[in-house]
Chains A and B, each alone.
Chain A
């Protein structure tokens, strides 16, 4: 392909320019902009639609893979976050970047890692492109208005605390226990 279709490219670029000039441009980052909408089929057959998940509360998208060590290390901490805040509306979605070679390993890995949050397989890589994933794990936090609050690439032990602090700011205060 390359520059084989210059007219198409110029038309697309002109469209982009026109759109930007007429409609305006937000910051040039995934952060602080509206999260791309998606509808995914979970590994157990459920449909995961971003708008429906956001109606319950903030959403964390975790791009992971069965063969990715840091991803696998991060998952128990993410799952602990999910269990802690699910009642207050938090949803965590594990978006598996595994290809056909590893599809059959996704559910056993989730079971072994004790993942209680929903999992979907990004079969055609569309989600990774939408969210500009360049390395695994990548964690995306989206607030209830659909705005991306935070994108983190890679993971080291201790980094889930920052994510928890960001989530806590987005959640309603816990209900006081009834007397």
Chain B
């Protein structure tokens, strides 16, 4: 008894001492692990921020610098030749003999003369270096269709009217150029407009008559009297069209004639001479003598062209307006398609269907749909929309135009539908969550007033869930506008100056292919004949695409916050 009494406190004391220490250690460990969680969470957020800010900053810095005109340098080489261009990059490198020296990548113009776009120039090759005052950069309209000739660097030699040099001194030439350039650009634009609209109209006239004839042929056969009558009609319209065409052509020829009178003679750094018609010059930039204000003017003029004009030089220069239009139009059509479908589907799943295995399975399937690679949607869109639906539509309604497909190929409608499918899960999930967040007390209140289920949904549940649904819409816009892979299969193309909406009946052409900024970026970066020259445009286009997505989102977010303000209660 006494033994046990003696032993007891000892036994008690020992484990207590043992247990106290680990406990203290434990407490410390837990508090330090809490600290480490702060660091871990903050660290991962910082990592995300660095990635996002870095990407945005890269796009912004590189993208906004594209249109800034750098000085033109002329390098006299030890070999005796002379090169002139814009320095795009420079780096240090180790030469064969082990010395480190600098080399610069020079953007050379005059591709049609030199056959070179870029050239590395080592410092030890250079005899002397200068920035000549009268170095001019000529940005030209396509010299060859769909080719990339790049700018022309040179010195003004003479201003020619009707082949006669009226000025030979650079200052005078520049003055005359500025006087005449606007007029010749206006003539050039008028010519383009005539070619696009008036010639297009005569073509459409004959095409419509031909289709009419074809319809009659399909109905009555090629030997029938109706066909013969229709053929007469067709010939008459074709004659009329050709008369109209000749008139337009004559007008165009006049304009061309007038434009050919004005030419600018230029001399390159190595002495070659070339004459360029004024109408082919988009912009002449006296890079080394325009000063800061002139630089700013050129910078904004280039941005303007970028945002509002068609591309030139195989997409690597000029504007991206068709791509902006295509991106925005496709995103809006996609939103219009996906929101009603997604919301209705979510409504059924949440409000009407009996919750059970089947609905759970559907929900899982919808969530999985979000994980399907987007190219798979593209393949599906091509197979189902273009080749099945589109071909059926063609057979039913556009039989006369066969074998030319109307809807049986990629187009903005099919692309929008494909992306609508792609973003459907986003909308469904967001809508379901928004519906679940509507307090059941509101539903009950409505039912107690004698409202039917649909009245309750329409008047109470949907308005209340709208901000949440808008979140889904915002997410789907971001996802849809930035998607490229499926578009390559269902309608985005390299060049489509004809917009899906224009002034020609029926005004909306849902079957047309379209340009898309995302695809444009891919095309510039990887499909270009001269990717080094297209690189700055990649950044600028990316910047623009991000800007457009941000803009669309800001609009949606503002709508959402207005809705939220309507439903927020001061009294919770």
Q: Are A and B physically bound partners?
A: no
